[in-house]
Amino acid sequence: MRANRVAAVLAGAVLISVVPAAGAAERPLTIPALREWHGAPGAFELRASSRIVVASEGLAFSSGTS
């Protein structure tokens, strides 16, 4: 069960991580790849108040708030 939790956290980190763009906001590297991208200045910061919505009940246990 711990391995599933670690896998879910790593999968989430991969999905929300972005590669810093050089110059204009280029399409970030994400898995799965984005179909559309419209770059804009700024930065994304995941905070304690941020919400991540998961449609799969199998991953809901990892949030600790289900």
CA–CA distance, 56 with 24 (Å, rounded to integer)? 35
The pLDDT confidence band at residue 49, using thresholds 50, 70 and 90, is very high
Its pTM stands at: 0.28
Q: Cβ distance 59 to 47 under 8 Å?
A: no
Per residue in 22-41, pLDDT (tens digit) is 556 777 788 888 888 888 88
Q: Which residue has the tokens 């879910």?
A: 8
Domain boundaries, the chain: 2-63
Instruction: Please name the residues in contact with 32: beta carbons below 8 A apart, sequence gap of 6 or more.
Output: none
Is the predicted pLDDT of residue 21 greater than 50, yes or no? no
Of 28, 11, 6, 8, nearest in space to 19 by CA: 28
